[in-house]
Every structure is written in C-alpha cells, then in structure tokens.
Amino acid sequence: MNPASPRITVLGSINMDLVIRCANLPAPGQTILADSAAEICGGKGANQAVAAAKVGGNVTMVGRVGDDAFAERLVDNLRQHDIACKHVHATSQSPSGVAIVAVEDSGQNSIMVVPGANGRLTTEDVEAARATIESSDILLVQLEVPVGTVLAAIKIAVAAGVRVVLDPAPAPVEFPAAILQVDLICPNESEAAAIVGHDMETIEQIDSAARELHRRGAKNVAITLGERGTLLFDGEDITLVESHKIDAVDTTAAGDAFAGALAVSWSQGNSLLDAVRFANAAGAVSASRAGAQPSMASREEIATLQNQSN
C-alpha cells in the first residue's frame, strides 16, 4: 500500500447525466413542468473515480465511451481530475452511456440509464489493463458494465492479492455467486434487499442481510442506509456508523462518493471502521450539493464535516 497516494483502479461506467430538477417526481402517466435541465458528467464508475481522486487517490479508469459528441467531454473531464485514462477506449458505432436523472426538491431521485458503450466493455479490455489492476492497492467495481467483464477484473485482482471493493449497483436480477468473492461489498439497502431477497425495514433485517452477504462470500459488508447511517459487518462484529445531519439537495451520487472515499481511506492503512466513517462524511457532503461529480468532496471538506459532528 501507498499511504500517501494509494493506487485505485476503477472499472465501470462513464455516462453523460441529463439532470432534470423538479418540485416532485412525476407519478406514472403524469406530465409535469420541471425547473431546470443540465448535462453533467457521470456514470457510477466515473463518479467513484472522481470521488477517489478528490480525496488523494492515484486513480486509473478502465471503461468505454462512444463515438458521439459526449465522448471527448467525458474523457477530458476525467483528465481534469488527474485520472489516468489510458484504459478508456473509444467505441465505434456506439453512443456514450447516458443517464436521465430526475431530482426533486427533497433530494430524492429517479434514474434511467442507457448503457451505450459501457455495455461493450469486454474481458479483452480487462486483460489489457491487467498490469494496472495487479499493481493497484484496490480495484473498485460496480455493475453498470457487463457482469462477465467485472468478474474477469475481480479474478485478476484476487489472484494478485489486490483488495476488491464492489458497489453492486444496479443489482442484477440474477446475481452470480462468484461476484460476491470480494473484500468488501457496499450496497445501499434496496440493493442489499434485491440480492438477499427480503425486506430491509428494521435494523435486525439489515443485520441479517449483512450476515447473509458475508456467508455468500464477501469478507466485509457495509450497507448504506441514508439518514440511518451505515451498517458494517466485518465477519465478527456489527457496527452501526452514524450518519451526518445535512440538508439533502441531491442524493444521486452519495453512494459513489462513499465508495470512492472508502477505497482511498482503507488503502491508506486506516481501519475499515474508520474508512467507513470517512466515507459516510463524503457521502453526506455529496448529498448536500447538486450534481454527481461536481458534488464530490475534498479531504478538507470531509474533515470539516467530521469535526462539526464530533
């Protein structure tokens, strides 16, 4: 590990988010007038890469963009955050990934994702990035790219003794058992519920889900619960890490901020519990601001929020 600037490889999606802000999300069949629209660089993979870079990670992105007008903007944006893009490939005859994000005044959101070039990230792309993955402190993955591609990256990392952090979003209908063989899985409560197949209303049910995810292969489990904080299970102890009180503006990228910040903090030699505390603050800062990547917190902002909460 490199405590000063840990090497984080992020394999995942790169999208252009078309963000619509409105007073309330529309009901099925309802047409509403919205307040504003904006194009913001996003994608769970790219979001987490930016989150990790902003708190001191030495980040490399593995992903694909299309051959459309968005592609150059998406790659330039990553480079502006000092993210290495040698494994970000242009994809002929394919649009870049696009997400339609509706955000209501409460901060809650509804998202539709068109994968585009993200769906064409291959195991060959992973193999081309093998040396980068093997030399990383952490491999950070999500599920907006093909599951088989994610599994190939996990296999390389595990064989090289590289920690793997999985954000299982969006949770697939069929969840392959092999993808849970990771050092940490960090779902939100709805994703955890989809994987284990039961409700997540009470802390007892969330506790049960964490233990089930561990039983299925994840060495550590951190289930993010929004205002209720994060439930961490390290294979022995359950800890409920409190959230930070903030005025929610846009929760779209809070989970991505959490995952990116956690990967860096854990790689710097901090305990997993301390890394979760750091990541909780990063997620809170993100939720208090609009947009995905523009909302990501710096290390100084995270420290300020932690000090205010103590």
Catalytic residues, by residue number, are 256
What are the residues whose beta carbons fall under 8 Å from the beta carbon of 306, sequence distance 6 or more?
244, 277, 278, 281
Please state whether the peptide bond connecting residue 95 to the residue before it is cis, i.e. omega within 30 degrees of 0: no
The owner of tokens 């969006």 is 170
In angstroms, the CA 63 to CA 85 distance is: 9
CA 64 to chain centre: 17
How many other β-carbons are positioned within 10 Å of the β-carbon of residue 3?
11
